[in-house]
Structure 1
């Protein structure tokens, strides 16, 4: 067991947008939405971010909570299944690239910070291409093995996708820091409701139906107007 202050400090470290897994390199396709005139101000940015958040909650977060509980039981096959289920929910190649690149980096950094046999096995399997190695599952393993709870895990995943898009927006949308912080404040206010809604869901409940987002991602894969990797 760890004390409350240490637990909170670790939570802050691993939910920080500056945590070096490469989050800044991705935008979840925002610049394509901006180029196509779909996202152009604070209102449309909030709508876009909310949609991405819902996609994440009903896919990545569900699988991550399952992976977290599997890590507590040392159920490694279930951890790998959760990892695979996340990949199956991603229709576009760049989303898969984002999650696996960040996941591998998370596993590498975690292994440098502290020794954990489960994470070491996970990282070895990623390197041998035995599992995709998505970011939410890497987070789930680390959080469970280092005294953080599943609510903190959920909060980090939800906060991460919101912050990723809003930080990108400051570089390609006409919005201010005040507006992005206002959006962040509002979207975070329902996190407790979202957690209670999905906490007991299974793989069968995972869904990411938002066709416009997938179309924008497809445009971005072949497009030339880009500031970010995805």
Structure 2
């Protein structure tokens, strides 16, 4: 940006291109935040026969995405808005609210491990002052450090809108589960990519459904999913942490 504040030709396009590249990096399934260790309930769904074929998998991923939108997505939106107005206390409020809304030790493990790893990774990339502050709060046991909140903080620093944060989070959830599916059932990468393409159609509608919700309105009514998560804790054979 020139010193006089006048945007030079091509500046906006270049900024948009760089932001898109960063968003792709932060949504990449190879991002080393530990997502490979979790199946988000899919392992038990396969073991118990809830998911047996690609169409079952599509429906299961859609259920989980809907639940994620109404819980993780709401927290991420509130965290993005909070940090955009410089209210770090409200970031911690969103973090704790999501933690309190999630059921089960393994869900908590997933949120916290991936959240902390994301913060540590982001700080290897750049300064990310708010992420550094959030990581310090995690290490002081002042906040749980939920992954969607970390995504919101890192992407807000990069200039992402709240809608972009929401899409990146939902994509991450789907990609994590479909990556696990290849190791858990008879399915190939062509089918998982088809499913990923289809479920992304949910993003605009899910965003509109949750964008006005308060933290108190976070909800995730998916009883089969909750039972499967509980089942996984006692499973005799496990490839994934959940």
Tell me the TM-score normalised to structure 1 length. Answer: 0.96
1:50-108 CA distance string (max 9 Å, x none): 11111100000011001001001111111001001111111111011001000001111
| 1:15 shift after superposition | 0.6
Q: 2:42 aligns with which of 8, 30, 49?
A: 30
Q: 1:212 aligns with which of 207, 224, 238?
A: 224
Q: CA RMSD in A?
A: 1.2
| 1:117 shift after superposition | 2.4
Partner SS for 1:115: coil
**Alignment gaps of 5+ in structure 1:** none
The size of the alignment, in residue pairs, is 230
Q: Distance in 2 between matches of 1:224 and 1:86?
A: 29
Partner SS for 1:226: coil
Q: 2:116 aligns with which of 104, 119, 142?
A: 104
Q: Distance in 1 between matches of 2:102 and 2:237?
A: 22
Q: 2:33 aligns with which of 3, 8, 21?
A: 21
Contact between 1:71 and 1:79, CA under 8 Å: does it hold in 2? yes
Rg larger in 1 or in 2?
2
The answer to whether the aligner puts 1:176 opposite 2:188 as a matched pair is yes
Tell me the TM-score normalised to structure 2 length. Answer: 0.92
- Would you identify which runs of 4 or more consecutive aligned residues in structure 1 move more than 4 Å? none
Q: Which residue of 1 aligns with 2:24?
A: 12
| 1:116 shift after superposition | 2.7
Query: Which is worse superposed, 190-199 or 87-96?
Result: 190-199
Partner SS for 2:66: helix
